[in-house]
Structure 1
């Protein structure tokens, strides 16, 4: 997808259970992508988690989004699925 999509409302996906991630999204002014990340494995995998989230956002063509991610040790495919679901709910 290479269309520019703006989200219209706040939405979330995931849980704070072990091995999951809670993704919350809302519109962000000026077309900026902002990410706030908390993780129990931040030192080891913080950069990778950030890359997975931002890759999915860009892949979906989303602009103007604020993302808060609270990770409890989720694997990459879970992170990507939660981001996709939250964005889909926010469009």
Structure 2
């Protein structure tokens, strides 16, 4: 999939996060800002990259503003933002 336009998902409530994605032609530019990055930064980063890999995203700007979200929330917000930005009609739900 390719990120075609800017999209956003999530909130800045506690235990949630905001994911912003937009087109970027020079590979992946991932920025993660988190209140709990010192404790869970490696895991947050792993979930973000795993989700990008699941959608075969190799180009785009991804900004994550985390407020202590669980892995399942990170994954869901990433999926929502990616699907919104790609305008994909043929979603393979079993792969999500």
Tell me, yes or no, if structure 1 residue 42 matches structure 2 residue 40: no
2:20 matched to 1:24?
yes
Q: Scaled by the length of structure 1, what TM-score is found?
A: 0.91
Runs of 4+ in 1 over 4 A off after TM superposition: none
Normalised by the length of structure 2, the TM-score is 0.87
Aligned pairs, how many?
Answer: 86
Gaps of 5+ in 2: 87-96
RMSD of equivalent CA atoms: 0.7
- What per-residue deviation string (whole Å, max 9, x for no partner) do you get for residues 50-83 of structure 1? 1101100011111211100000000000000000
Distance in 2 (CA, whole Å) between partners of 1:87 and 1:10 is 9
* Greater strand content: 1
